[in-house]
Structure 1
Amino acid sequence: MPFSPVHKLRLSSGITLLVQPMPDRLTVAAGVWVRSGSRVESDELQGMAHFIEHMMFKGTETRDARGIAASLEGLGGHLDAWTNHEHVCYEARALSEHLPQVVDVLADITCRSRFDAAEIEREKSVVKQEIAACEDDPTDKIHELLARQLYGAHGLGRPILGTVESVDAFTREHLYANFASRYRGDELVIAAAGGLDPEHLRDLVERHFAAPSGPAVVRDPAPVPRAVSVIHEERDEQQLYLALGAPTPAYSDPRRYGLRVLNTLLGGLMSSRLFQRIREEAGLAYSVGSGLSFLSDTGLLSIQMGVAPEQGREALRLLRLELEKLAAEGPSESEVEAAKMYLKGGVIIGMESVSNRMEHMARQELYTGRYSPPEEHVAAVLAVTREQVADLAAEFARPERFTLGALGPAPGGPLSPAEWPAAS
């Protein structure tokens, strides 16, 4: 299962360039990754990283917003961006023959955006509508609610989009000062995979990228673990939305492989424990599952489901029983083997995509500073034992480790701390 080697270059501008040639591919995927996301923002400037991402598409020295939108679409390509708590990414996908245009437009938007005052005011309206849409979407809102309960005033506890009040207060000076710090050369990782030549890409990047100069980004400290708690926001919904989260180690911790196996057999598959018990056997939920997210200095094992309001307490009872059983007894050998095979397939199938190759390289650099090939990840997953997963379940999957968030109606009144283990 050999994968082509990755070339890592540190350019004179401070930019880190990662390249994985895939000679048999006719396409390329390239991404400009910014090392800081929304978590480094102060309360007053929350939403700034996301707003700057929007402004990158509103006009540069040589292109207006329409020109940016059409730059790759007219070549059969695609340009997009996203912001999360840890990073911002601008990604492009196109035919290999259009690599020069890909680098040109990515450099143009991330180095030469104008931050036009009229466009800023217009985009404030757009982002406030995005905030309103998130407020109206219970699947988004419940995760914001849980994050606030888990992390409090820490950056991880604030919404990535910011608030209407914080967005309204943004000025061009605020935006450009943040841009100059966040988009410095040493804050950028450029990753590309597909049908390309590393030296050709290096020449293009050095020619087109001229990153701004600003003070270094001030990193926030790791979040301090908070006491397990329950929060229930009652509002008129057809369902009661439940989300639970328990802290885990960070991305760099080698136990992440065992935790991935644990998450997969707990709620990551249709054959998983939660799907089978709560949906298939009890018929209480259409959507139920678990997830695992690793960040630079923490992680989160999460569980989510939507149930009829009158069945919320019963669903939580069954969930608690499943977690208690898994923590006490551990999984079966067959569950562990099935989860490992699923994860192995996910890695290998995922690496067929040039976009996934690009993202894999970038995340390795951002979280560990080194590239570890997919075969290393597969080997680490396959080396996980049933005993290791049992130990991890006993440590991290006990119900009393989970903070509970609920959104929607509940007959008999809102869920209280007394109804969830160890909540205070």
Structure 2
Amino acid sequence: MKSALDVLVEPLASPGVMAAKLWLPFGSACDAKDQRGAHDLLASLLSRGCGPYNPRELADVVEGCGAGLRCDAQEDGLLLSLRSTLEDAELLLPLLAWMVLEPHLAPDQVALEKSLTLQMLQRQREDPFHMAAIAWRELAFGAGGYGHDPMGVECDLQSIERQQILPLAQRLPNGRSVLSLAGCLPDDIEHHIHAMDGFRGWPLVVEESNVCRLNYGTPACETIHLESMDTEQVVLMLGQATVPHGHPDDLVLRLLQCHLGVGMSSLLFRRLREEHGVAYEVAVHYPQLIGPAPFVLLAATGMERAELSLRLLLQSWDELRQTTLSQTDLTLARAKFIGQMAQARQTCSQRAERRVQLRAMGLRDDHDQRCMDAIQAITVDQIQATCQRWFQKPQLSLCGPPESLETLERVWAERHS
């Protein structure tokens, strides 16, 4: 049996500021098949009354201290975040425990948050990026846990009621949770946490029956999805599900992400924007996940430039498997990777979140330093071999006007003929 709450502490020389991150291993990937969006709805409710505070009183306590408190649903878990000054830590830290152990989940608040989420989903249907991303998820993961946006699906959310939320809330304290604190911290805070109001009632052991066992999903038979929208722009997403964070090939893919999509010197920026002027936005999406992470090339372009944009994306994708990077490109990718790592550890909140993420994923606390040391040994041949393993069967999601989609579908069909 392991302790149900793992506490991590990182004292930093900050001007009286601290950040706390509480990770609960129940994310949107744990949504039931007909309740997609349930964990996101639960996350939004945790800060609407808990322990001794109703929603108004909770907001007054937090805002009266000039602090920040929120809960976000991600694919792999719920992340509770607190930012405050050292002098208010004793008052505010128990809120994190009460949100988990004693959430109110009042019927009127459930109805309000459900209404707000449905409104947000309706607005997002007007966003071609969002619609293309939803379709790509479905192509890559089908009905599995990663197959839908954490916010959920409108038809499922409409039928979710308080009685479906209650059992999800009841199991929150019983998983392998991690609390990370960083910044200017009270003395002996690690041992003091368990004696604080709220945390005194935290379970001492993990209940294995409450561990969320996931099916992340499997690719659909189709390789392309077309989403018609009355707009003059076309959004293209080309990619494939790859590896979890910390996998032996993950570091190589991180370098590729830097090479392809980080900064104005990246391949996609130079090729699609500077050389051909066909796309006004390019990026590479490669999130850090416990399960198979998407590696996706994104581009947004106008109707008249959509075909060339797709052909350039396909060219860039195929080159990864067919040709090796130059040593110059590899050196630049390494520098960008190190720069990103440094930028991601500048604030107390960033450092607390990264520590809690690594522990939740079962990775060592010095994982990032080990990665920075390891990139020097990665070769161009190793990069090409990794691409050949993971980039064999890309899937394409397109959102835009019907006339453009027909042309792009023919380009995709040519590739598979």
TM score, norm. by length of structure 2: 0.91
| Counterpart check, 1:405 vs 2:397 | yes
| Counterpart check, 1:168 vs 2:162 | no
Moved more, 274-283 or 152-161: 152-161
- Which contiguous aligned blocks of 4+ residues in structure 1 show a shift greater than 6 angstroms? none
Offset, 1:271: 0.6
Who is 2:146 aligned against? 156
Offset, 1:125: 1.1
Who is 2:108 aligned against? 118
Structure 1: stretches of 5+ with no match in the other structure: 1-9
Q: Could you report, residue by residue, the CA deviation over 1:321-359 in whole angstroms, capped at 9, with x for unpaired residues?
A: 222233222111111111111111221232221111111
For the 8 Å contact 1:262–1:392, the answer to whether it is kept is: no
Distance change >3 Å, CA 270–CA 192, structure 1 → 2: same
What is the one-letter code of the residue matched to 2:398? A
Q: Could you report, residue by residue, the CA deviation over 1:373-419 in whole angstroms, capped at 9, with x for unpaired residues?
A: 5322311233322222232234334xx52100001115365342762
For the 8 Å contact 2:140–2:147, the answer to whether it is kept is: yes
| Counterpart check, 1:364 vs 2:358 | yes
Question: Hey, what's the Cα distance between the residues in 1 that align with 2:410 and 2:7?
Answer: 49
Identity of aligned residues (%): 22
| Counterpart check, 1:269 vs 2:270 | no
For the 8 Å contact 1:330–1:394, the answer to whether it is kept is: no
Distance change >3 Å, CA 421–CA 185, structure 1 → 2: farther
What is the number of equivalent residue pairs in this alignment?
410
Q: Could you report, residue by residue, the CA deviation over 1:163-192 in whole angstroms, capped at 9, with x for unpaired residues?
A: 3332232232211111112x1243321111
Who is 1:4 aligned against? none
What is the one-letter code of the residue matched to 1:200? I
Distance change >3 Å, CA 284–CA 350, structure 1 → 2: same
Distance change >3 Å, CA 421–CA 196, structure 1 → 2: farther
Superposition pairs for residues 89-168 of structure 1, below 5 Å?
Answer: 89-168=79-158
For the 8 Å contact 2:30–2:145, the answer to whether it is kept is: yes
For the 8 Å contact 1:229–1:423, the answer to whether it is kept is: no
Distance change >3 Å, CA 333–CA 369, structure 1 → 2: closer
Q: Could you report, residue by residue, the CA deviation over 1:236-258 in whole angstroms, capped at 9, with x for unpaired residues?
A: 01201111221212213122111
For the 8 Å contact 1:150–1:226, the answer to whether it is kept is: yes
Distance change >3 Å, CA 423–CA 108, structure 1 → 2: farther
Q: RMSD of aligned C-alpha atoms?
A: 2.3
Question: Hey, what's the Cα distance between the residues in 1 that align with 2:159 and 2:106?
Answer: 16
Question: Hey, what's the Cα distance between the residues in 2 that align with 1:345 and 1:155?
Answer: 32
| Counterpart check, 1:377 vs 2:366 | no
Superposition pairs for residues 212-227 of structure 1, below 5 Å?
Answer: 216-227=210-221
Distance change >3 Å, CA 421–CA 80, structure 1 → 2: farther
Offset, 1:106: 1.6
Moved more, 347-356 or 172-181: 347-356
For the 8 Å contact 1:310–1:410, the answer to whether it is kept is: no
For the 8 Å contact 2:121–2:154, the answer to whether it is kept is: yes
Who is 1:188 aligned against? 177
For the 8 Å contact 1:40–1:155, the answer to whether it is kept is: yes
Match of 1:83 among 55, 73, 92: 73
| Counterpart check, 1:419 vs 2:409 | no
SS at match of 2:146: helix
What is the one-letter code of the residue matched to 2:178? V
Moved more, 194-203 or 54-63: 194-203
Q: Could you report, residue by residue, the CA deviation over 1:59-104 in whole angstroms, capped at 9, with x for unpaired residues?
A: 2242222222232332222112211211110101112222212312
Question: Hey, what's the Cα distance between the residues in 1 that align with 2:282 and 2:343?
Answer: 24
Superposition pairs for residues 327-338 of structure 1, below 5 Å?
Answer: 327-338=321-332
Offset, 1:423: 5.5
Distance change >3 Å, CA 423–CA 118, structure 1 → 2: farther
What is the one-letter code of the residue matched to 2:184? G
For the 8 Å contact 2:227–2:398, the answer to whether it is kept is: yes
SS at match of 1:70: helix
